[in-house]
């Protein structure tokens, strides 16, 4: 996968109003439980030599769970995010491949609970456009599937008829729009 022309140049910061970072996991084998993070940040830097770096983070305590007991278990409990000790979920790219067909493959390290693991996300990118207010914008829409046990999130309950209460595989989705810094 190679591109003829670099679609990004310079430094871009996240537009939080037009971006989201979320995850989904199977619940009871019935449906997908989805949650998102409200407090997110990201920066994309495209160097003159063609290298691109993406760094992003989400505050674990900004998760979209509202029930107080469930929120306390997921956000602050040792079974999941343990946000008091590890307030941020962080991604740092190690390689970004962009295709002429607007495909994107982003490889990097995902840190959750102080544990970093390699992750590869794939999806699409949108090259620079100028919005009606004269601001340059780019976008990435990326998905990855990870095993939550890789980050020591191993809480589980067996179902009476077999199976697990919570899936091991988690789909992580980042839809980010970034604005060029002046």
Task: Give the start-to-end residue ranges of the domains of the chain.
Answer: 10-180
What is residue 132's predicted lDDT score, i.e. its pLDDT? Answer: 97
Question: Are the C-beta atoms of residues 60 and 87 closer than 8 Å to each other?
Answer: yes
Provide the pLDDT for residue 182. Answer: 80
pTM: 0.92
Residues 23 and 173: beta-carbon distance below 8 Å: yes
pLDDT at 71: 86
Q: How far apart are CA 55 and CA 90, in angstroms?
A: 8
Task: Please give the Cα distance from 111 to 129 (Å, whole number).
Answer: 31
pLDDT at 122: 98
The token duo for 86 is: 């590890």
DSSP 3-state of 18: helix
Grouping H, G, I as helix, E, B as strand and the rest as coil, residue 60 is helix
User: What is the model's pLDDT at position 5?
Assistant: 57
CATH homologous superfamily of 10-180 equals Lipid/polyisoprenoid-binding, YceI-like (2.40.128.110)
pLDDT in tens, the chain (182 residues): 555 457 888 999 999 999 999 999 999 999 999 999 999 999 999 998 889 999 999 999 999 998 888 888 888 888 999 999 999 999 999 999 999 999 999 999 999 999 999 999 999 999 999 999 999 999 999 999 999 999 999 999 999 999 999 999 999 999 999 999 98
The residue among 19, 64, 7 whose CA lies nearest residue 174 is: 19
Is 163 buried (19+), middle (13-18) or exposed (0-12) by CB count in 10 A? exposed
Q: What secondary structure letter does DSSP report for 63?
A: B
């Amino acid at each position: 996968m190679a591109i003829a022309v670099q679609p990004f140049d310079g430094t871009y910061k996240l537009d939080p109003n037009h971006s989201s970072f979320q995850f989904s996991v199977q619940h009871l084998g019935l449906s997908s439980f989805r949650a998102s993070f409200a407090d997110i940040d990201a920066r994309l830097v495209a160097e003159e030599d063609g290298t691109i770096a993406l760094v992003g983070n989400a505050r674990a305590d900004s998760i979209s769970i509202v029930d107080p007991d469930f929120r306390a278990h997921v956000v602050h409990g040792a079974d999941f995010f343990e946000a008091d000790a590890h307030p941020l979920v962080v991604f740092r790219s190690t390689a970004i491949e962009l295709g002429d067909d607007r495909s994107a493959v982003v490889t990097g390290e995902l840190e959750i609970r102080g544990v970093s693991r390699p992750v590869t996300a794939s999806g699409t990118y949108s090259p620079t456009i100028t919005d009606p207010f004269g601001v340059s914008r780019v976008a990435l829409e990326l998905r990855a599937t990870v095993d939550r046990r890789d980050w020591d999130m191993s809480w589980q309950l067996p179902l009476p008829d077999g199976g697990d209460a919570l899936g091991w595989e988690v789909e992580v989705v980042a839809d980010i729009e970034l604005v060029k810094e002046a």
